[in-house]
Structure formats: structure tokens, C-alpha cells
A and B are shown apart, each in its own frame.
Chain A
Amino acid sequence: IAGITQAPTSQILAAGRRMTLRCTQDMRHNAMYWYRQDLGLGLRLIHYSNTAGTTGKGEVPDGYSVSRANTDDFPLTLASAVPSQTSVYFCASSSEGGGNEQFFGPGTRLTVL
């Protein structure tokens, strides 16, 4: 079934630990995105990639890094987690960047203690 998968579904993490959230899509989309969603706030863009091999910073990139080694995978890494990174993280993809519909993964609920 075509779509986007994320792993893990949820995670509880001790502050200071390193964590990688995984995202894979099989729609051959060029553009991929990482968002965080916090109660009372809109989705906020962390990092994006318009095509394999390129990445860019979004609205809230500090404390996060990404890589885009191939078209399908777009992992998000928290180098040293802090409690303020407790959130729901959504990965999304679109056929191209810009004004194209974005398809979202099911999300990862991350709690940093």
C-alpha cells in the first residue's frame, strides 16, 4: 500500500539521549518534510528536503538534524533530547516542493523526560 510510514509510533526518552525518528515513503515523491505539532499551536516545519541529496531549515530547526540519502527515506535526529522537544512529530511528502498537496505519515509521539 502506497504511503508514508513512521517509526516508532511513540517513544519515551530520557533528556540528553540521542534519538532518530524514521520516515519512509514509497510514492517516489521528491519533497519531504518534518513537522512538530504542539497543543494550541499550528504545525511547525522543522526541516525539509526538495529532492534527494538536499535539505533545508524550516521554522524551528534548532536541536534537530536531517539527511536525505535517497528518495524514500528522511530520518530526523535529535542529537541530545530536551523536554521542550516533547511533541508529536509528523513526516510528510509531496510530489514536488511548493504548492502541491502534502501527504502525512501517522506521526510519532515523543516524550522527553
Chain B
Amino acid sequence: GQNIDQPTEMTATEGAIVQINCTYQTSGFNGLFWYQQHAGEAPTFLSYNVLDGLEEKGRFSSFLSRSKGYSYLLLKELQMKDSASYLCAVLDSNYQLIWGAGTKLIIKP
């Protein structure tokens, strides 16, 4: 079967750094996405990795290791508005997205 694992919930302090991990076992791999979803709202795109390594985009970075079936999303200089769920999704061999259940990130002042 196909499986995406992420921690259910994480807590971090405003101004700090947090790393959200995602491990996956899927039938094929054609890329990994991270989305942000605020409570009661739609998911919005953060990043896409298809090759190994780190992609940096402002305060957010995403890392991929295909051999380990592993990715992480790194959020720096945390702000209260970063309180949200972060969804990891893998594009499988059929080019369909398989989604993790999401990690709820709570930011404390």
C-alpha cells in the first residue's frame, strides 16, 4: 500500500526554527509537494521537490532524499501567522497525489 507519514502536531516558539518531517512509501515517485492549510481554508502551495537536495524559498526550505523516502520542511523565523497545518504529498507512478494527514503546527509567543 501507499503511505505518507507526518507527525500529527508540533509546537514551536515565535522567532524559532522548526522542522516538519515526512516519510513516504509509494508506488513510484514523481515529486513531492508541501502545502500549507490554515484552519477552515484551502491548501496553498509551498514547494515542490523532484531531485535530492534542499530548495530554499524565503523563510521556508524543503529537503528531499529519494533513497531514504524522506523529506522535511524547514520554517525559520517563525511568525504567529505560520500556525497552520502542513501537508506533505507525493506524486505517484500514475501521477496522482498521495497526501499525508498533515502536521498541525502551533506557534506560541
Contacts and interface: CB of A to CB of B under 8 A. Distances in A.
B55 to A, nearest CB: 14
Nearest to B30: A99
A42 B42 contact: no
Contact of A42 (B30, B95, B96, B99): B99
A26 interface: no
Given A42-B99, A48-B96, A99 B42 contact: no
Contacts of A43: 43, 87, 89, 97, 99
B45 A101 contact: yes
A101 B36 CA distance: 13
Contact of A101 (B42, B48, B96, B100): B48
Sort chain B's interface into a size bin.
20 to 34
**Contact residues of A: prevailing secondary structure:** loop
A9 B87 CA distance: 23
A90 B4 contact: no
A101 B91 CA distance: 11
Contacts of B91: 98-99
Sort chain A's interface into a size bin.
20 to 34
Contact of A90 (B33, B43, B100): B43
Interface stretch (A12-20, A63-71, A77-85, A104-112): A104-112
B95 A102 contact: no
B4 to A, nearest CB: 7
A41 B100 CA distance: 7
Interface string B82-109: 0000010101000111111110000000
Contacts of A75: none
B54 interface: no
Interface of A: 35, 40-45, 48, 58-59, 90, 97-99, 101-107
Interface of B: 4, 30-31, 33, 41-45, 48, 50, 87, 89, 91, 95-102
Given A58-B96, A101-B33, 18 more contacts: A40-B101, A41-B101, A42-B4, A42-B98, A42-B102, A43-B89, A43-B99, A45-B97, A90-B43, A97-B95, A99-B30, A99-B50, A99-B95, A101-B45, A101-B48, A102-B45, A105-B42, A106-B41
